[in-house]
Amino acid sequence: MFPLSIYSLRTDNGRPVHSSYTANGTTHTLLYYLVDGIYPRFAFSVSPFPNPTTEVEVTLNRLQEVLRKDVERLYAVFTARFRVALHPAKYSTVEQMVTVTKAMAMLHNMDTKKRRDGYVSRTRMAGSGQAACGGGRRGLGVGTEAPPATPAAEIEERPPPAVMHPPAAIWLRVGGLGELRR
């Protein structure tokens, strides 16, 4: 499942087609999530090889872990930011825990929006926007140019759009917006 020839992206007039990619001569269209070893090899998830032996497997495991490390930080950031989440919860119902955790996740997202594109320190952020963008890119970043200035701030403020990505529409129907709560 993992794109073995990761640089062999199908291109369209020089621009990459992001919704599909080519690996080992096959073009995949299903997008995937990075997960850890406990998950079986679903088509929509990419987990590391359990016993890497060949060089390819070892390299891909390394790459997968490096990319996934970024998001392993979330719980550390989350508990550091909202110290209630670090201590055992003192609520009497699961509903209260769900409400509090979701509210904290939203506050966390509000914070994230403030320091999007880089997650750099306040001082570096204050220095210059361009420097912050460049400084925030790290690890295996291949592109050297600054990321395109996406209107992220505007996107977040909008109400849900009328035409949605099909999976997103399903997510809404399933109850992503509060059907499951209470």
Residues 97-136 that bind other proteins (CB under 8 A): 97-114, 116-117, 119, 122
Binding-site member from 82, 131, 134, 135 for other proteins (CB under 8 A): 82
- Span near other proteins by CB under 8 A; candidates 2-10, 48-56, 127-135: 2-10
Q: Which is nearer to other proteins, 114 or 130 (CB)?
A: 114
- Rounded Cα distance between 141 and 96, Å, is 40
Residues shown for the chain: 182
- Rounded Cα distance between 159 and 164, Å, is 12
Footprint on residues 36-55 left by other proteins (CB under 8 A): 36, 38-40, 44-46
Binding-site member from 14, 26, 50, 71 for other proteins (CB under 8 A): 71
Q: CA nearest 141: which of 111, 117, 115, 114?
A: 117
State in Å, rounded, how far the first CA of the chain is from the last one: 38
Task: Check residue 88 for interaction with other proteins (CB under 8 A).
Answer: yes
